[in-house]
Amino acid sequence: MSVASPKNFEHTISKKLRSNVLKIALFATGLAGIVAEYVLSTLATYFLGDSVFQWTIIVSMMLFSMGLGSRLSKIFEKDLLQKFIYVEFTLSIFSAFAALLAYTAAAFTMYTGFIIYAFSILIGLMIGLEIPLVIRLNDEFEELKVNISSVMEKDYYGSLLGGIFFAFVGLPYLGLTYTPFVLGLINFLVALLLLIVLWTAIATKVKKRLGLTAFLVALVLASGIFLAKPIILFGEQQRYKDKIIYQKQSRYQKIVITQWKDHHWLYINGNQQLSSLDEQMYHEPLVHPAMKLLPAVKDVLVLGGGDGCAVREILKYSEVENITVVDLDPAMTDLGKTHPVLLELNQGALLNKKVEIINDDAFHFLENTNQYFDVVIIDLPDPKTVELGRLYSLEFYTLASKQMRPNGTIITQAGSPYFATKAFYCIDKTMAEAGFKTQPMHNQILTLGEWGWVIGVKTEYPKPNLKENLQQLSFTEVETAWLNQEAMQLMTSFGKKFFLSDHDDLEVNTVHNPVLYKYYLDGNWDIY
């Protein structure tokens, strides 16, 4: 029986070590690559809107660019290891600074999208170079079928871990400020690991150049990490005309509070949700008409409304026994319970013992709840995406109807009848299709412009004209800052300005035919 010589044994170990290092590198870059796609897609959605479109375009552009990168890799004939290390150094810079440059660009130009799309192409090209180079480098260590399968396997495994990292750690805890720098560090450490372990395989004249490059990249990354927060805050501040006093990137959305003199504004993903200057002109019409149509209300469901202002209005009715608030984002409801600005606005409403807060998707909640409600109040963001449009769908209103008691009322904020007329009437038509007797309403809100709601009654109201019943409502028994009977007469009257001649041609918004977000995006927002 022959015994392997120490020299051969060391050679075998060396080959195995080099092969494993290459696979570890690809696992790490697979993780970083998929997270880079998610970061850029989230950035594009935040700055440009329409999440379905942006995620589709960014991911498609990156995959196409990866194909181009793979094609370009064939022009590299020599010094493959050296070139792979340079690719990793380049990727570390691109990945780390994509978000910073996007925020900086947002402060000075309207063309932030071009920056984001450009980075998606550049990063895609670099990622596309990685796999072919690693396969060729690993070719001397493993036979072809093992080489290809093991290399691809590690890359795909890394992608899974990257997705988990982004969803549960990156976005909710590190946000778009520091997640990109984690990616940059991963690519940098991969390059550094290859440089150290495979040092002897690198030509002597190249070692100094690679070492200097590593030092410079480390310096740039360290500087970026140090400056990231103030730069992003600067870029973010330019998107708002008033001073930012609070901002948080949660797992679901970017929450910002700004201040001007003694007044405050709440924004979600850059869109105003309320202003302390005039929020009563929004929340009073959202709550009181639906409450006053019924002789007594015991159980109220609020879908959205994590700021607590709608709950504040509901609590003015002493007969109410239970208020269930369903808001997807715990960051929003926690803010409504703890932040001084919102606590002052909502008067501590979310801390009231009558209030139960459930952090869940509103659609999912309605599908699974066994509770029944007298009034359902829907205070959700505008239906500008497919995901949000689902919460204004026929299926959604049908689910709500099943959990409502006879003669129960439902009301939803419905965007602007002026700026998004078709979307507004689509919501009205969709709610009516679910079996509700409906009536659209509108009000001029100082900081939002012309805004609207759609109110519905589950069964035929005792009097045939819901509009007349709304106009006759009296609010003398409840304390309101703005709403009264005269206001209700104005809110339920629409002149020619808001008349839609092709109302009958509008489609009903359903989960499988999500037309609402298209109507919304086709609105006259350029004049807002």
Structure tokens at 89: 């150094």
Is the Cβ–Cβ distance between 454 and 412 less than 8 Å? yes
How many angstroms separate the first and last alpha carbons of the chain? 86
Is the Cβ–Cβ distance between 329 and 252 less than 8 Å? yes
Dist CA 424 CA 51 (whole Å): 21
Supply the residues annotated as catalytic.
Answer: 379
- Kindly report the backbone phi and psi dihedral angles of residue 322, in degrees, each rounded to the nearest multiple of 5, phi listed first: -140, 135
- C-beta neighbour count of 191 within 10 angstroms: 25
Considering only CA atoms, which of 263, 181, 180 is closest in space to residue 221? 181
Amino acid at the residue 305: G
Angle formed at CA 90 by CA 87 and CA 93, multiple of 5 degrees: 150
Cβ contacts of 462 within 8 Å, gap of 6 or more: none
Is the Cβ–Cβ distance between 293 and 277 less than 8 Å? no
Dist CA 519 CA 507 (whole Å): 10
Q: Is 264 helix (H, G, I), strand (E, B) or coil?
A: strand
Give Cα 101 to chain centroid, integer Å.
Answer: 20
Beta strands at 322-326 and 299-304: parallel, antiparallel or unpaired: parallel
- Alpha carbons within 13 angstroms on the beta-carbon side of residue 291 total 27
- DSSP-derived letter for residue 441 is E
Structure tokens at 52: 């379905």
